[in-house]
Amino acid sequence: SLLLPVNTYGMEYVAVSRFELAGGGPEVDFFQSCEEVCGDIPGGYCTTQNGVESCTVPYRGFISVVAVHKDTTVRITPTANTLGGNGLIPMNAKEEYAHLLQPYQVLNIKSDQNAGDLTGSIIMSDKPIGVWSGHDAAIADGNCCADHLEQQLFPTKTWGKKYVAAKSFPRADENDHWI
């Protein structure tokens, strides 16, 4: 992950993530039931295939916010429903929520909605903050291989209006994507 120095922190960000999807989970051994292994994982559920029990858990998008100043008020408007826990209430999509953070406290937000995507969530504060967003295990083409995504975000005040992009060398039969 890119790590930016504190003097670059800002007060407005837009999250980039991926949609939530069902994925793998912890193995269920011979001496446990699937409910014991998977029951305490929010959104986890048991499945049986070929007589073998397994636990399926959601791969979630996330946003992490860190404060560096005392009494920092962070306001977030998520684009998907979020998970609650550890004193954090679940948040509904498109509703604004305020959180008070002290120096070096971290607000961790995870999606809690099948196919919910936190991309486009607005994070604002009254003092400079650092923001990271990403995904537990994203799958780009739906076929194979989940990868953890995580990136510290640039505040919106640093965004430009003109961009230059370089073309990558061809890789197998992959297409370039320009947006």
Residue labelled with tokens 């994925």 = 23
Bridge partner residues of 123 (DSSP)? 13, 76
DSSP codes joined into one string, the chain: -----GGG-EEEEE----B-EEE------TTS-HHHHHTTSTT-EEEEETTEEEEEEEE-EEEEEEE-STTEEEEEE-SS-B--BTTBPP--TT--EEEEE-TT-EEEEEB-STT-B-TT-EEEEEEEEEEEEEEEEE-SSSSS--EEEEEEPPPGGG--S-----PPPP-TTPPP---
Specify the pTM: 0.82
Name which of 87, 81, 93 is nearest 43 in CA terms. 81
pLDDT in tens, the chain (179 residues): 789 999 999 999 999 998 877 777 777 777 888 888 887 778 888 888 787 778 888 888 999 999 999 999 999 999 999 999 888 999 999 999 999 999 999 999 999 877 789 999 999 999 999 999 998 887 766 666 677 889 999 999 999 888 888 877 777 777 777 66
